[in-house]
Structure 1
Amino acid sequence: MSKVRIYTLAKDLGVDNNRMLQMLDELGVSYKSASSTLDEDTVETIKGLIADEQANGGSAAAPAATSSTPAAEAEPAAAPSEPAATADASDDGVPHRAPVVTIMGHVDHGKTSLLDYIRKTKVAAKEAGGITQHVGAFEAKTSKGKIVFIDTPGHEAFTTIRARGANVADIAIIVIAADDSLMPQTREAIAHAQAAKVPMIVAINKVDLPQADPERVKTDLTTVNLVPEEYGGDIIVVPLSAKTGEGVEDLLEYISLTAELEDLRADPKAEFSGVIIESRVDKQAGVLATVMVQQGTLRVGDFLVVGEKYGKIKAMTNSNGDRIKEAGPSTPVQILGFSEAPTSGEKVSSAKNEHAARELVASRVGERRDAEAARQNRKLSLEEMMGSLETVREVNLILRADTQGSLEALQGILARKEKDDVKINVMLAGIGAPTEGDVLLASTAGATILCFSVTPSGSVTKIADQKGIDLKSYRIIYELIDEVDRLIKGNVEPVFEEQYLGRAEVRMVIRHPKNGNIAGSYITDGSFKRNAKAKVTRGKQVVYEGTIVGLKRFKDDVREVQKGFECGINLDWNDVQEGDIIEASEMVEVPQA
């Protein structure tokens, strides 16, 4: 008997995946995830345990509806407006919702072909035509329930939405051609998904081609810190063909499995919230906006607020092109009712009526103005100036170089720069000038863009300036490394120690009408510097600790006075007396290895 995947065994035995993992934990069986495989002995043990539970009246899974159960109770008829959430619910009554999936990858690696195949096979024929150009998302009906796919232009659009604080996608599918392996846009897509911190599944497409080499792709994935499960990592890799359909069912199974483990839930009865996926202006209909419902239920007639604008829903269309009256969580809908096209990624909320909508908009305008005024007047906190006080800090970088050799040399040097308390995270490393997508990624992840022997275009530099992103170019590699050292230093809490400078004896006190009392002193040891720390001792008692605000040699202001010279020491203190001893010191940063 061949090895069986955990989730497959759970499905065959009618057991919930989480229950199956719990049983494996009780048996002491190690596994990476629910897609790991089990040997024959473990499978037989599990089957025996399930049989015992059922014989003893226990239930390893929720019982299926029997023929005697009334149809209305077993499975309510799904109306076109039914929320895309499953029937099961948690203890607090919040039901599961359908996962929202985005597909990213390099151009020509088969993203659109994969979406088209799923759309044609998982959506009714009448629904297939023209879905993308109208809604930008569609629902696939699988044996595991509904899966919602967002058909976005690519990873840059995905990050644009993320940059506005909206987490639309639950799972990212990275499509890689089996005959091409990792390409620049593939690496970018992976970096964007990692920055968004969403679970990833790698789909190796075009395995039907004679030159396909899936093993090479799996090996190359390890170079970007994605280790496939079969290599001991935790990344699910699915070989498939969007042309023949081979492996597509496996991909859908893995999506459903990942969603189940993520335990995605949303309450249709909660207050509505959603995100704008895209918007356009139709010559006949006017402004059409696609909204992903994330929480609550959206109904025709509701007032929606997006940013500092609002509108009333006049009509709503689902991904099948049907007019609907309401839409629940994980449902993409096209809305007619906005007077202006909202921006992708903006968050959507609802209001009880037009008066409430106007009040909410007025409130947001006021908050924005207050925030702008506060930004102009605010002072940086110590934590902002010194960096976060967490134990381990990250320096996020995006590297661009002229050649692969330069890139590898830079990465090798940076790897040696890491310390126990500072992690250098190269989010993306590529050949050629930085792109607008790099700037979007940097703004989302708080990264610095460093270029070696390549020059960014004027438009990219302008966008970086607008978003406040550090984009720097270097021709000499050591200058770039110096910049990285400065970034690391800025992320490390500096350590200072007090260093002794010198000692002086006060021989006379000079009364000055403007500067107060000045200590006419003789430097007996070391040296004195302006702005150094000062400690005044009278006998055995310290009578003052403060700062040297000025040094004078005759009538001239000086920065420093050495041993053996007389000088006037101006302290921010007027009680100095003859015979006092002044010690000078300064705080010096301790070099850290």
Structure 2
Amino acid sequence: MGHVDHGKTTLLDQLRKTQVAAMEAGGITQHIGAFSVHLSSGNRITFLDTPGHAAFSAIRERGANVTNIVILVVAADDGVMKQTVESIKHAKNANVPIILAINKCDKPEADPERVKRELLSHDIVCEEFGGDIQSINISALKGENLQALSEAIVTLAEVMELKADPAGLVEGTVIECRTDKGKGPVTTAIVQRGTLRKGAVLVAGRAWGKVRLMFDENNTMLSEVGPSMPVEIVGWKDLPSAGDEILEVESEQRAREVVDWRTDVEEEERIQKDLEVISAKQHEHREAHRKTLDTFYGMNWKQKNSALYKTSRHLIPQRTSERITDDNPTVPLIVKGDVDGSVEAILNVIDTYNAEEECELNLVHFGIGDISESDIVLAETFNGSVYGFNVNANKTVQQLAAKKNIPIKLHKIIYHLVEDLKEELNSKLTPITEEIVKGEASVLALFDVTVGKKVTQVAGCRVQKGALEKKLKFKLKRNNNVIWTGCLSSLKHHKNDVQSVKMGVECGLNLDDDDIEVKVGDEIICFEERTISRKTSWDPGF
């Protein structure tokens, strides 16, 4: 665990001699991965590679709860960062011991001692400071000192006497889940007790399945899986949720009974919560009604009618404001992700949305798997957009979306998806019109000028600031109050029509509104209107 881009996946690549980091979008891990590493000493360690990005907090917490040991990876040049602190908190909440791996020690700006000092404030005390946290300086990129890290893990595991029973019914945890076109619902899991074999009947959350196929992280088919081994399980009837506990049961009938019972319990809990909300609302209405009756105490019927009328009249603007609120711009969206953890991370980001007064964000639907035609139809119904994370939309779906003018926005990096969503929110906000003052003039005298048979009033002015430009808009101010806004019908300098008059120059001008009477001492303000795009105040935190 650790902060984004501190080298967690590169470290695993060196231990496994693979190139996972190079294949990650943007070089950033965006899923939780489970890998089994065989050390030269003959020991085998299962690693969970968790994302370091801020959006994947729930995945990191889930990873900490499953593991026996947390390797805290901190870059020697960056030091302790936000997700480093969060990872420490998750490890402590799960009561899991920590080994500190200070990475990127090959860099000239690396300062491992500074990292250790910074961690002291987070109650991570290394052995050289009298604590019990093992600290190893490494370079994941160059493969330096990884043997010492492996030995530290094995030593701590021996001290903790980590053991599991390979006999009995299987117990495990769902690490990640997804829908595969050929395999159907697929889960990545860690077996924590027992030995998993083909044909085993499993229950996880409100889903059950009979194991048809099992694969390791290299997509090699397995016949059995023992404790602490990562495995990809095929055969689920429905997709469980990441973090669900896996239990083996004796038969399919028993699995159905367990799932039905769990579904009934959840439904009862939901109904109970709804009843509590209804009860609270009823109590609130009763209290409001009682207060209303208290205000009528001692009144005759005429006074009561008068008070009721005043109460009703007071409610009218509230109803109007409610109608105005309903007219607020709305962004309906559908979210599809490749695995449960990805969708969970995006929903957690959306949960932080707090700018409803600017624009409503309406999550219409979310799910796992590629974007389908039904997603496009649903988006058309709500006039929304479809956001996909690490998924695809086939040609038929894209043609349907183009025909119905439904935007499909596909992303492989989560903060790009969030930035795209913020841009869509910004586009819905009404632009602000800003007035930029270009010039100011004061009225020194008034003249009546005859044009044909019509007598018009001309204001003799001197430009005090900037310049007056005939093509722009003007304001007439008297005693600091704006009494007119509009355009000029004429702007003259020495009887000549001009388009602009600079500071210090006298001019004559005529307003385009004959009903407005100009007086000596009035101010003429020349201004330009400029439209500025608004930006949402929502800050997702990264």
Larger Rg: 2
Alignment TM-score, normalising by the size of structure 2: 0.47
TM-score, normalized by length of structure 1?
Answer: 0.43
